[in-house]
């Protein structure tokens, strides 16, 4: 199976689009004040559907909300440290397909793996082309993650924003 690429329209993770034209999947990322919102284009209604949003404020508790009717919750309870060491930057979460995943930094880039112990196979890899004319993209190496893509992309945005700020 060949990989699937979701291309970013620009180098910013706060105001951009993320798209895979061959699958007809298009996300829009927008930021207003401290809240970053993710929507996904629905071809049946020809409108954007709310996926989730997160709020990161200095010296305050970061929050996340999943789904239009979702309640705000503490970000570190949704995107948690897991079994990594105290200094680990890896974070785990449960996606909308009820599977647990882990974002970790490998070779200075974000990689998504299963959160299961010992499972190191890359499922999604971020390819940043900061100094190239080529657009950056998320490469889905294993198509089994497509059903959890909404939460995967939302948590990617949080992790990449955090990585860039550190």
pLDDT tops 80 at residue 84: no
Return the SS3 of 137: strand
Cα–Cα distance measured from residue 97 to residue 120, given in angstroms and rounded to the nearest whole number:
20
Q: How many Cβ atoms are within 10 Å of 61's Cβ, its own excluded?
A: 11
Q: Tokens in use for 27?
A: 């996300």
Return the SS3 of 82: coil
Strand partners, 41: 48
pTM of the model: 0.92
Nearest to 124 by CA among 137, 135, 111, 136: 111
State the alpha helices, DSSP H only, in 20-125.
75-78
Residue range 122-158, pLDDT digits in tens = 999 999 987 778 899 999 999 999 999 999 999 999 9
Residue 54 · residue 71 · CB < 8 Å? no
Instruction: Give the pairing of strands 109-114 and 47-55.
Output: unpaired
pLDDT band at 69 (very low <50, low <70, confident <90, very high): very high
What's residue 87's pLDDT? 79
State the chain's mean pLDDT as an integer.
Answer: 91
**Residue-range definition of the domain harbouring residue 67:** 4-165
Please give the average per-residue pLDDT across 29-46, as a whole number. 93
Beta-carbon contacts of 163 under 8 Å, excluding residues fewer than 6 positions away, are 89, 105, 110
Residue range 92-133, pLDDT digits in tens = 999 989 999 999 999 889 999 999 877 789 999 999 987 778
Number of domains in the chain: 1
Residue 30 · residue 149 · CB < 8 Å? no
What's residue 164's pLDDT? 80
């Amino acid at each position: 199976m060949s990989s699937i690429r979701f291309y970013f329209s620009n180098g910013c993770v706060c105001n951009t689009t993320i798209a895979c034209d061959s699958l007809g999947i298009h996300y829009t990322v927008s930021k207003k004040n401290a809240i970053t919102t993710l929507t996904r284009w629905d071809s049946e209604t020809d409108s954007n559907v709310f996926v989730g949003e997160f709020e990161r404020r200095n010296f305050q508790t970061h929050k996340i909300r999943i789904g239009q009717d979702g309640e705000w919750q503490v970000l570190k309870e949704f995107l948690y440290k897991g079994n990594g060491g105290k200094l680990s930057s890896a974070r785990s979460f449960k996606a909308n397909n009820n599977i647990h995943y882990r974002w970790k930094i490998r070779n200075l880039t974000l990689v998504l793996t299963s959160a299961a112990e010992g499972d190191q196979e890359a499922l999604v890899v971020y390819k940043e082309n900061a100094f190239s004319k080529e657009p950056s993209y998320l490469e889905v190496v294993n198509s089994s993650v497509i059903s959890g893509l909404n939460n995967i992309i939302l948590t990617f945005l949080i992790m990449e924003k955090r990585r860039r700020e550190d």
